[in-house]
Amino acid sequence: MKFWKMNGAGNSFVIFDDRKGGLALTPPQIAALANAETGVGADQVIAMEQTLRGDVFMRIWNKDGSSAEACGNATRCVAWLVMEETGKDKIVVETIAGKLKADRLGATRISVDMGSPLLKWEEIPLAERMDTRGIDLKIGPIDAPYLQLPGAVNMGNPHVIFFVPDLDTIDVKAAGSLVEWHPLFPQGVNVGFLQVLSRTETRLRTWERNAGQTLACGSNNCAAIVAAARRNLTDRKALVHNDGGDIEIEWSEATDHVIMTGPIELEYVSEV
């Protein structure tokens, strides 16, 4: 079957067109496909499916074969494919987490309305009631934690964002894997580490639930700026430098929606 190998700010995907049906991937097959040594290599595997409520339905699997609710960078990639196919500059991508509106802003630049962030403790969800602007979670020695009080945001999937003074000193794998399935998060959590450079510029590294460290994560970029703005560390509109590329995030005061704008790249088309 034909597939597209694409990335959004370095976040890599294998995308199948299953709008006519017939794709039947098992979790082990997905894991093998996503593994760079046994297959193509990707952070997530995506299937485009038919829908009556938008232009396309996007199904998402993590690299371990588990399902994911949302993926902002993959949404941009799928939106671009459908726009190229149909000639449209505006489409709606449906996901398990809801419908997302996408707009073409350039040849390979796509903007996606990611909807309103969910900010209540039970919406993240957390295992107990907490102020989600800075939840009671510490990493390191009890009397001298090196990470603490992350902000929690749900952007179709759960995220926590740690604010750090120097991103280069953080062991993303060690800290991210420790937090990912902490008992405080009954559904697991995506973990972001954000360094604020100015009111309008930041750096972010991400540990994705069931995927590990990635070069970028669209929904984590959204969660990072929402969490930072809630703490008055940044404006509601800011640039995020990821290891794989830059993404612009705006948390609209007028609509409460988070708009994510960034690049896509079609690496190649092949078959498996």
pLDDT, tens digit (0-9, with 9 covering 90-100), for 44-90: 999 999 998 889 999 999 999 999 988 999 999 999 999 999 999 99
66 DSSP assignment = -
Class of domain 2-115+263-271: alpha beta
Task: Count the residues in the chain.
Answer: 272
pLDDT tens readout for residues 187-196: 999 999 999 9
Q: Does 97 score more than 90 pLDDT?
A: no
Per-residue pLDDT, averaged over 178-188, amounts to 97
Cross-strand pairs, 58 = 48
pTM here?
0.94
Every domain range in the chain assigned CATH 3.10.310.10: 2-115+263-271, 121-256
Tokens coding 152:
């929690």
For residue 238, give every residue at least 6 positions away whose Cβ sits within 8 Å of its Cβ, in sequence order, or none: 199, 200, 201, 202, 225, 228, 229, 248, 249
| Lowest model confidence (mean pLDDT) among 9-13, 19-23, 151-155, 252-256 | 19-23
- Nearest-angstrom CA–CA distance, 233 and 226: 10
| Res 272: pLDDT | 83
Q: Does domain 121-256 have CATH number 3.10.310.10?
A: yes
- What is the sign, positive or negative, of the torsion defined by CA atoms of 261, 262, 263, 269? negative
Q: How far apart are CA 180 and CA 267, in angstroms?
A: 30
pLDDT at 60: 96
Q: What is the mean pLDDT of the chain?
A: 96
- Quote the pLDDT of residue 35: 95
Q: pLDDT of 115-141, one tens digit each?
A: 999 999 999 999 999 999 999 999 999
Average pLDDT over residues 79-102: 96
Q: Give the pLDDT band (50/70/90) at residue 1.
A: confident
Query: Which residues carry out catalysis?
Result: 71, 217
How does residue 42 score in pLDDT terms, banded at 50, 70 and 90? Answer: very high
